Each structure stands twice: as C-alpha cells, then as structure tokens.
Structure 1
Amino acid sequence: MPQPIFSRRVMLIAAGAAFGASAVGWDLFSPGLSATAAGTYLRPCGSVPISSSWQGHKNRNPPSGEPGTDYAVITGTQIRAAANGVIVDRKDSTTTATGRYLALRTDDGNYIRYLHLQSSTVPLGARVARGQVIAYSGASGFGSESGYGPHVHVSLWIGGTPLQLGFTNSVDFENYAQPEDPVPIHQSSTYSWNAIVPVGVWTRVPVAADLYWLAHSSATVKETGDLTIYFTASGVTRGFQVRVVAETLNASGGVTNVAPQPALEIHGTIATTRNSPTYGDYSLPYSLSGPIRLFAEVRALNGGLRIQQVTVKKNYWVS
C-alpha cells in the first residue's frame, strides 16, 4: 500500500530520535492540533470530476468575475471545509450570480468561498474544522434554484479577502489542494475498566483486559492515523489529566526511550453530584516509524475518582 500523503500536521515519531522538550516542543504534540498551511486544503466533495477549471474561468469571454474551480456533483452533496477556520460571510438567497454561498477565513489567513449552494449548515461566525460538513451543493444563482447545472464553485484568495484583493484576483484552488488520502482502516474498542485512579500518579490505561497499546510500528511497517480516547468517569470534583506516551523499542523489544506527550486536563461536569458521570476525550494525530508503541495514562486530581469506561476509536494507515 502506498504511504498516505497527509493534509494536516501529524505527530512525527522516529526511532532513535531525541524526545526532549527542546527537541519537539509543545506545539507539535498538542492534542487535536491541525495544520492549515496552504498546500494542504481538502477538496469540497472528495475525488469528483472538475467541470470547469480556474484557468477555464479566466479564459471565458468575458472572463469570470470570480474565477474558481467547479466540481461536478449532484445537488445535495456534502461540502466539507478545506481547513480549520471561521465562517466570515454567508448568503442565503439565490440572488446574483453567486446564489447562496459561504466564506471561510482559514487559520493561515487565506479566504475561500463556496458558491451556488443548496443550503449551509453552519452559522456566520462559527469555527469549523477541516473536513467538517459546512454546506450542501446546489445550482443556485440569478434568483433561481437552478441558475446553473448542479456543481460547487470554490474560489481562493491568498492573504486577503476578495474585497481587499479584487474578486478577479483569486488563485487556482487545485494548486493548494492535497491529494486524497487512501481509505483508512477503522478500529474501535470499549473496555469497562471500573478502576479508582490514584491522585497525582500517572496510571496506564487498559484498552482491553491486560492490553494497553493504542498503536505500534516496527522496523518494516509504519502506521499513521488519528486516535481518540473517550473516558467515562465518576467521583470527579477537580478533574483528571490524560496523556499519550511513546515508547521506542530495541531489536529485542526492550524499551530504550520514553516520550510522554503534553497532558490534557478534563474537569468535572458543572452542576452535578460527585457520583454523576463526567465525560472527556483526548485526540491525537500520529505517525510512527520504527519500533515504537503508544499507550495512554491518566492522573487523578482528586481522591475517589473512578474511570468506569474507556473507548478508543482510530482511523489509520499502514505502509
């Protein structure tokens, strides 16, 4: 299987690497961190035909007033955010050539518009994540639901809005779109741990009876993916902390290096009794190369805290 090309920043762990804080830093390993640099944008509807390219829009006579890429999809197709960012403009009428649209200001400072929508699913000002469904495709424009053939038009401006840079000064979105990842392997497990967690002591989290490993790689097999650990706890007043630890192994399976990742703190649910359940989750993208394995640890911040259930879900690729 070919190694996937990722469109997000991933946690890179290499056998034999130095794992000190000075070597990797907090930012790279922060739970849930995603990259939004240009060149990593997600196409709105996956791998679908392009009915009109950005250059095709430029070559029209007269040229398009807002050059972009037209993706040929049926009405009602899910449209996903190209990157993390904020919805900064939304139009819900079919008037003008754009029809309904959404505008996304990505975290890297760029600006993307999705035109001719059937409907939007996120409000103005909403923060959205890369891959989140934000709209459904349509054919709206010129005061009609069928001002065009069904498609989604995507326009991109680098470093500014179309009002700042000019509507005709968009760039080719396809030059900034990441090739599609192969379909990942999905894995899910739930374990009823039902254990009291010691205060102030990092305790390894089982994902099944006597099993602790979240992911692993070898000298010949790499693994890259995303994992999320869901916790159900009781007796939570102050809260508890969660972290993932990477262990590098030698050829005999012995541990040669231990690299704890930054911890995430989960607080007790507000306005509940001590025995009411508290739910928390910890997410981490990762890429393992060499003999490495990952496991999770928890540390209670108050006495009497019990982790009742642990669920692990991950999507991953091996190569």
Structure 2
Amino acid sequence: MTANALTQLKKLTTIVADSSDLAAIEKFRPLDATTNPSLITAAANQKENKQLIEDAFQQAQQEGYQDEQLIERTIDILTVKFGVEILKLIEGRVSTEVDAALSYDTAATIAKAKELLALYAKYGVSSDRILIKIASTWEGIQAAKALEAEGIHTNLTLLFGLHQAKACADANVTLISPFVGRILDWYKKAENVDAYPIDQDPGVLSVKQIYFFYKQHNIKTEVMGASFRSIDQVLGLAGCDLLTVAPNLLAELEQDQREVVAQLSTDHAHAHTEHPHTPISEAAFKAELEHDLMASQLLQAGIDGFIKAREQLHSLLAESFGVIREIKA
C-alpha cells in the first residue's frame, strides 16, 4: 500500500506546523513549529489555554508592570509560554515573532529579541531551539544580521521577492519564510483570474526562484515555504528545505494518496539559469522593493495585519483582566 502524501513528503522535506494549536501539533508531531501574532491570538481564545494566560498575567504583575505595559508584557510572556509548550511536543525549533510594530526599528527589534530569549531562558529553554521571527524589511534584516553575529538564530518572514532573499543571505540569517499563498492571492486579484496551473502558480515559482538562487551560490540560509492555500502548492514545493503547513492542510495531505515527487533539489537548481550574487545595498534593496508592487504591498499589509492581531490580543487581555476599567477609574 502506498504511503499517504504527508508521509512521503516528510522524506523529502522537513515539515513544520504553522500553528499555536497545541492539540494539532501533538497530533501531527512536526519537527519544528512556527507561530505569529494571529496564531497566538487565535490560541488565546481557546478555553484550554486559560491557565497559560492567567499565569502570564500574574508573572507580568509580579515583575512590577502596570496598566498598558502590564498587558504588553503579558503578551510577550504568553507568546513565550506557548513556545515552551510547543517545544514539549516537538524535537526541533519554534519560531517566535518580534512585535511587528518594531519592523522598521533595528535597535528595538534587537532589544525585543533578547527580551524574548531571556524569557525562554527563565523556563530553561536553550536559544538553539528558538528562531526569532522578524519581518523582512531592510531594518529587520539588519537586526537579524546583528543577532546572528551573536549566535542568535533568526527566521525572516513576510518575504515576497528575490531582493529580500538576497539581503537575508548577505545577513547570514538562519532561515527565510517566503509566502506562497499571499503571492498567489495578489496575482489572482491583479490579473483577475480564478486559478493558475501549479507549474504557473506565482507563489510556487517565487519560492523556486529563491531556492535555486540559494543552492546555486551555496548559501547556507534555509528556505521554508509558508502561507499555503492548497496541498497542491505544498506538493509543488516538495524537496524544499522546510515547509510550514497549517493543520487543516496537514490533515488533507494525510488523506491524499498521490505519489509525491521532489520538485526542488540541488540538481534542479544547477539546471537553471544562475542569477549573479553580489551584495545588495540598502538603496538598491529599497529601490527594488518600491518597484515590486506585489512585494511592497504584501510586506506592509503583512506587518499591518500582525500589528492588528496583537492589538486584538491586547484588547482581549485588557478586558479579561479589567485593566481598561482600572485605567478609567
């Protein structure tokens, strides 16, 4: 009997759970896991996580935080607590995101990353099991460069183009997360089409281009496809270093019986036309980003979306613990 698509895929690619749902992570047992503000906010709404939230709030209180800063500290502690719980269920790493509001502030991003790692250390978690997740702005990439120089591993997210990937390679970041589904969504709207064949899917093609570039130039940074809309997109990138997949798509892959064939490999990479690899300057990066309407729009929309998700979590926690009422009193 042929193994299901998920089992076959795991032989070609490291599968990462794109979720903060502890039950889903326990079920699928991925090697690594990723989180983001939207996923943390969704998890905070689950009744089974009530104790985690209360513990985070009490810890922030004990540290002396008050009012708005009390809630912000609670969010950071809660984010790390979810990471700690996830790490109990997996063998590898968890990605933990820096507040997206800091995406254009290099120094603040570095400081927040170290705050998060200090929290993990309090829970006895080694920094080797953490990827600090940062938006792929120029400022974010420079923060990652500084962190990597200190031995702190990073995951550069909200990545939509080769220019961002080149800057991440220059910064020696550990891992990048190019977004497949969001690129597809943008092109479907821009070109007014309902669907693309998988071999013409703009999101899949973007990740392939980045993967080939990295392998052609022996760049050590890992490529992790993210933000999938279908299992066809996932299987279209079989062989990629890593793929982070939502639980609903993992379940679909588990039920699918098709034969899975590697679409990406070092051999594939060297069969394609090489792009030259020269360091990209800040001016060139920002010029390319500005001229790439898809990448510039999706990067800013992604940052705005993560900020909004954190604000929603802030409001949820403030209301839950009566902080708003205390401020008004």
| TM-score bracket for the superposition, by shorter chain length | under 0.3
**Which structure carries more strand by proportion?**
1
**Which structure carries more helix by proportion?**
2
**Which is higher, the Rg of structure 1 or of structure 2?**
1
Q: TM-score, structure 1 length as denominator? A: 0.24
Q: TM-score, structure 2 length as denominator? A: 0.24
